[in-house]
Every structure is written in C-alpha cells, then in structure tokens.
Amino acid sequence: MYRHVRQKWLTYSAPHVSHIARLKSYETIRSDVNFLCEDTAGGLHLDDEKWVYNATTMQNNPWERAQKQLETAAAHVAISPELLKRLQTPDNVIEVSMPIVMDDGRTETFQGYRVQHNNIRGPYKGGLRYHPNVDMDEVKALAFWMTMKNAVIGVPFGGGKGGIRVDPKKLSQAELERLTRAFTRELAPHIGPHKDVPAPDVNTNSTIMNWIRTEYAQIVGEDTPAVITGKAIEHGGSLGRTEATGLGGFYALDEYLSKTGQDKNKTAAIQG
C-alpha cells in the first residue's frame, strides 16, 4: 500500500475564514458558476463518438482557479499573511493505492484521495466521489470550496473532499463494496466525528456510506454513526437529504432571479 500524508498545524480566528468566504461568494460569483458546474465532476461525455471533453485539462486547473478566487477575495480585506498562506495550502493531503481482487480473480489497483483543507471552524466535512476523472487537483479545489461554503452558511465545519479514480458503473456490487471497505481502512486513522466527516457525492450514496460506517466500526471497535453523513433514513439519516442539493440549487436560483428582477419563466438544461 502507498500512502502519502502531509500535515500542517496552525490555528487562527474562525471569523476571518467566514469573512473571506462571504466576500468570495459575492466578489467572484461569475467564477463560482464554473465550479458549481464542475461539481458534477466529469465534463461532457460523448460515448457514441468516443470523445471525452475534460474540463480540467481543456479549460483550466480547478485548484489554480480556487487559488485565484482566494487571491481576489483577500485583496479586499485585511488578512494576515499567515492566514492567507494557510488557506492557500491544505492541512492534510492523503493519497492511497488500493489493490482490489476483482470477481474474475484479477487484481486491479485504484487511486484514492482525501484532502483536508482547513479545520479552523470545526471538523473537516465534505463528500467522496467515485469517478474516472478524479484527481488530486480537483479534490484539493473541492475541499477548499467546502471550507468556504461551510463558512458562508455558518455551520461549525471545515472543508474536506475525497474520492476514488474509478468508473463505478464497470464494477459489480461486490467489487464496489470491497473497494469502499479498502478505502475506509486507509482513511480510518484520519476520519471520525470530531476529525473529518465524509458524505456522499458524485456516484456515491447511502449504501456506500453504510459500508464505510460498518467498516469503520470494525476498526475502532464500536458503531459510530456520526463518522459519515448521508445515511439511509433507517440507519439514522436525515429526511430531505437526498433532494437537498437540487432543492438548494433551485432556492438559490429563485432568490437570484428575484433580487435581479429577472423573469422566472425560463428553461434550463441540467447535466450531472
């Protein structure tokens, strides 16, 4: 197994992060539209012509764009060089290599990532995505944006993000479970209710979260429901969680149209 972990320990005042995040949300709203689209993770796939458009390589690097957004916001506020430097660099970067025995007896190796960007405001919080285009720069950017989004809405969490470079549609249910449990074993020392709380994201769901929960329980010796969010209702999940992202997007768009005085009789194309 290959594992790389980079750690950095610094502390700063939480309100500064919230202030930077709020300013960012207003000053760079046009740039934010790009990352909201990118949060669906894959670019446009034209399978019938075997062409794949990759937003990361064809347009710009998401981590570089996140850094630029931070620089733009920081130019408008009084922020110490130390705090700015911390926000420019994730606290922890975890990369793991996982050999998995497939149903036909072959062994395939998968790359997994978890970036813990910042925990000034509380435990790292953010989803895990399974997608063939997942890479470290994407995960670092998404972890940064989670720090900012949690600060904007005022919840006591920092920002984290993770994923595995895999096409889950090509795996059987048993292979997917073995991969998820292997990933959990690698992440177990770095996650927990007061440390880092993963959640569903692209191509992950409550079933995968339950595999993480039960595998983590075997490792730590007790059931720890709060190690993840996005649980099924029967396993202690929250009502409304499944539709929360889409519904929240609708509310944000509705409020934007109201504030800008635009006609709400519009059509939209949704990808992802």
Instruction: Give the residue from 196, 189, 72, 93 showing the smallest Cα distance to 140.
Output: 93
Out of 24, 140, 149, 161, pick the active-site residue. Answer: 161
Instruction: Give the residue from 159, 265, 146, 162 showing the smallest Cα distance to 212.
Output: 162
Distance between CA atoms of 190 and 188, rounded to whole angstroms? 5
Residue 161 a catalytic site member: yes
Instruction: Give the residue from 248, 79, 42 showing the smallest Cα distance to 149.
Output: 248
Token match 């430097």: residue?
Answer: 85
Give yes or no for a contact between 199 and 230, defined as CB atoms under 8 angstroms apart. yes
Instruction: Give the residue from 271, 261, 91, 98 showing the smallest Cα distance to 177.
Output: 98
Distance between CA atoms of 10 and 8, rounded to whole angstroms? 7
Secondary structure (DSSP) of 62-109:
HHHHHHHHHHHHHTTS---HHHHHHHHS-SEEEEEEEEEE-TTS-EEE
Element (H, E) at 6: strand 3-6
Those residues whose C-beta lies under 8 Å from the C-beta of residue 220, and which sit 6 or more positions away, are: 188, 192
How would you classify residue 261: left for phi > 0, otherwise alpha for psi between -120 and 50, otherwise beta?
left
Q: Which residues are the active-site residues? A: 161
